[in-house]
C-alpha cells in the first residue's frame, strides 16, 4: 500500500523516524563522552525535530487514549533530551524508551500489516514529505521503498 505522492507505507516511515532518532541518541551519547559540545547541540536539535514530528502526526480522534499515551512517551523522550546537559543518564533513558516503542511498532506491523497499523489502529497521520525531508536533512542514507 502506498501513501501520498512518494509512495511510502506509514509503517516504514515510522520505523525510519525511530531509526533516525535512535541514531541521533547514540551519536549524542558519543559526542557527550568526547566533549563535543557543538556536535552534540546539532544532534539534540535533530532529535527534538523527530520527536516533534512523532507528536504532531498522532491523530487523536482515531484512538484518543492510545494517542495520549504515545504522546506522553514522546514527551518523556523530549524531556530527557532537555535534561541531557544536566544528567548523564538522560540520553540512555530516552534511547531505551525509543527502542521499546520502535520494537513495539515493528511487532505490531508484522502482526497486523504495515499500512493499517499506523494509520488506523494507532491513529498516526502519515506526513511522508515532512518526515523524508527531516531524514534527508540529517544526512542519513535510507533505502526507502516506493
Structural domains for the chain: 10-137 (1.20.120.340)
Write down the pLDDT at residue 91.
Answer: 96
Q: What is the pLDDT of residues 78-98, one digit of tens each?
A: 999 999 988 879 999 999 999
CA distances from 85 to 1, 19, 20, 32, 120 (A): 42, 23, 21, 9, 38
Q: What is the pLDDT of residues 27-68, one digit of tens each?
A: 999 999 998 888 888 999 999 999 999 998 888 887 888 889
8 A C-beta contact, residue 84 and residue 32 = yes
Write down the pLDDT at residue 144.
Answer: 28
Q: What is the pLDDT of residues 96-141, one digit of tens each?
A: 999 999 998 888 777 766 543 344 334 445 444 554 454 444 433 2
For 125, residues 6+ apart whose C-beta sits below 8 A from its C-beta are 57, 58, 59, 119
Say whether pLDDT at 23 is over 90.
yes
Write down the pLDDT at residue 114.
Answer: 53
Amino acid at each position: 500500500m502506498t501513501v501520498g505522492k512518494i509512495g511510502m507505507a506509514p509503517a516504514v516511515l515510522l520505523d525510519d523516524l525511530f531509526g533516525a532518532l535512535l541514531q541521533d541518541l547514540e551519536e549524542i551519547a558519543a559526542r557527550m563522552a568526547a566533549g563535543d559540545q557543538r556536535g552534540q547541540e546539532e544532534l539534540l536539535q535533530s532529535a527534538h525535530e523527530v520527536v516533534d514530528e512523532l507528536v504532531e502526526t498522532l491523530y487523536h480522534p482515531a484512538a484518543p487514549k492510545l494517542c495520549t499515551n504515545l504522546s506522553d512517551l514522546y514527551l518523556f523522550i523530549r524531556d530527557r533530551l532537555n535534561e541531557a546537559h544536566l544528567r548523564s543518564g538522560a540520553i540512555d533513558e530516552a534511547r531505551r524508551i525509543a527502542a521499546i516503542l520502535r520494537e513495539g511498532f515493528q511487532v505490531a506491523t508484522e502482526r497486523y500489516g504495515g499500512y493499517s497499523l499506523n494509520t488506523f489502529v494507532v491513529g498516526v497521520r502519515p506526513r511522508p514529505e515532512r518526515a523524508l525531508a527531516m531524514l534527508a536533512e540529517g544526512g542519513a542514507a535510507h533505502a526507502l521503498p516506493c
